[in-house]
């Protein structure tokens, strides 16, 4: 595949799966392809594993969880700069503001600033502890945030801001309906929102629909209801009609689905055959309502801009 970005579109997550009885013909798979150990992750989380798993004073930072996958992110409000409160705007993923005296606040100027954030209706204060411009994509600026003195994305972790907010179904909106001043989201680098930016599906470049389609694809959210059907450790080939990523044809994977902002536009096979603790198949709720497609051409005919391939595998629950 001819990669247009430093992050390959064919990805392997490092965590293995829970193994079933080896004698079971539908036993669960454990990924052990060392050739892909160096590649970047693609997992369940919309906003990042550390962000979604963080808690403060006994309460979940993300508010509601849907089947163990946290959906509510951190939405940016005003920022307190020594002289007062300023409204920040995004240029790419970079925060930029202008003080009353004309001083422009950007880059490392933000270190020490306090952001007013909203999480599931709860207002929090987040302090910027570090800012770093991406060395290969100048439109990406990474931020390390802390809450009550603790790193928000884990020690050494970082994330980025994007325009828009996401609800419990992982649907994107321009702003919160009951708080229109909240119109930006922070995603740790491990989350699908940030990953899709680094894969080249930037809201400000490829477009909002392309970025949203990517978040559905990354999480195997076929029904567009916020339910992920993938796990850490999954090898996925991501490609599109937009000239961002091309398929890695040399990797032996099977066509999976075509994707749009609301989920899969058509399906060939699920990323995983999911089994419950009795070994019975767990069906994807909307599967029978989605058109069938066996290749990219058929997917494009259903309106797909992004497509995915993966290896047939089995996932056990319980």
pTM of the prediction? Answer: 0.81
38: CB partners within 8 A, 6+ apart: none
Q: Mean pLDDT across the chain, nearest whole number?
A: 77
pLDDT at residue 211 above 50?
A: yes
Round the CA-based radius of gyration of the chain to a whole number and report it: 20
pLDDT digits (tens, 9 = 90+) for 283-314: 899 999 999 999 999 999 999 999 999 988 88
**What is the pLDDT, as a whole number, of residue 76?**
64
**What is the pLDDT, as a whole number, of residue 143?**
96
283-316 in b/e burial notation, b at 16+ Cβ within 10 A?
A: ebeeeeebeebeebebbbebebbbbbbbbebbbb
> What are the backbone dihedrals phi and psi of residue 199, each rounded to the nearest 5 degrees, phi first?
-75, -10
**What is the pLDDT, as a whole number, of residue 74?**
57
Average pLDDT over residues 273-289: 87
pLDDT at residue 64 above 50?
A: no
pLDDT at residue 53 above 50?
A: no
- The C-alpha atoms of residue 15 and residue 191 are separated, in whole angstroms, by 15
pLDDT at residue 36 above 70?
A: no
Supply 253's token pair.
């994977």
The residue among 204 and 21 whose pLDDT is bigger is 204
How much of the chain, in percent, has pLDDT values that exceed 90?
42
Supply 248's token pair.
């890695």
The residue among 88 and 111 whose pLDDT is bigger is 111
For the chain, which residues make up each domain, given as ranges?
1-45+207-318, 46-190
């Amino acid at each position: 595949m001819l990669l247009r970005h430093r992050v390959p579109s064919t990805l392997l997550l490092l965590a293995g799966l829970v193994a079933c009885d080896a004698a079971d013909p539908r036993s669960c798979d454990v990924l052990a392809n060392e050739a892909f150990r160096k590649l970047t992750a693609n997992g369940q989380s919309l906003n990042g594993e550390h962000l979604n798993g963080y808690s403060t004073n006994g309460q979940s930072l993300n508010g509601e969880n849907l089947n163990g996958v946290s959906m509510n992110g951190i939405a940016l409000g005003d920022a307190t700069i020594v002289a007062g409160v300023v409204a920040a705007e995004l240029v790419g993923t970079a925060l930029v503001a202008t003080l009353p005296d004309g001083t422009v606040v950007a880059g490392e100027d933000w270190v020490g600033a306090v952001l007013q954030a909203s999480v599931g209706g709860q207002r929090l204060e987040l302090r910027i502890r570090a800012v770093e411009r991406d060395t290969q994509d100048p439109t990406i600026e990474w931020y390390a945030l802390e809450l009550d003195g603790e790193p928000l994305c884990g020690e050494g972790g970082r994330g980025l801001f994007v325009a828009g907010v996401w609800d419990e179904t992982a649907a994107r909106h321009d702003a919160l309906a009951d708080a229109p001043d909240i119109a930006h989201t922070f995603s740790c680098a491990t989350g699908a929102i940030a990953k899709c930016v680094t894969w080249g599906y930037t809201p400000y470049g490829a477009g909002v629909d392309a970025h949203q389609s990517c978040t559905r694809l990354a999480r195997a959210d076929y029904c567009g209801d916020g339910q992920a059907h993938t796990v850490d450790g999954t090898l996925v080939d991501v490609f599109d009609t937009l000239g961002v990523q091309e398929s890695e044809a040399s990797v032996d994977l099977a066509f999976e689905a075509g994707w749009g902002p609301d989920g899969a536009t058509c399906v060939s096979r699920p990323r995983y055959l999911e089994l419950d603790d009795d070994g019975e198949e767990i069906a994807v709720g909307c599967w029978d309502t989605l058109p069938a497609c066996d290749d990219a051409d058929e997917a494009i005919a259903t309106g797909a801009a992004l497509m995915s391939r993966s290896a047939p595998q089995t996932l056990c629950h319980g």
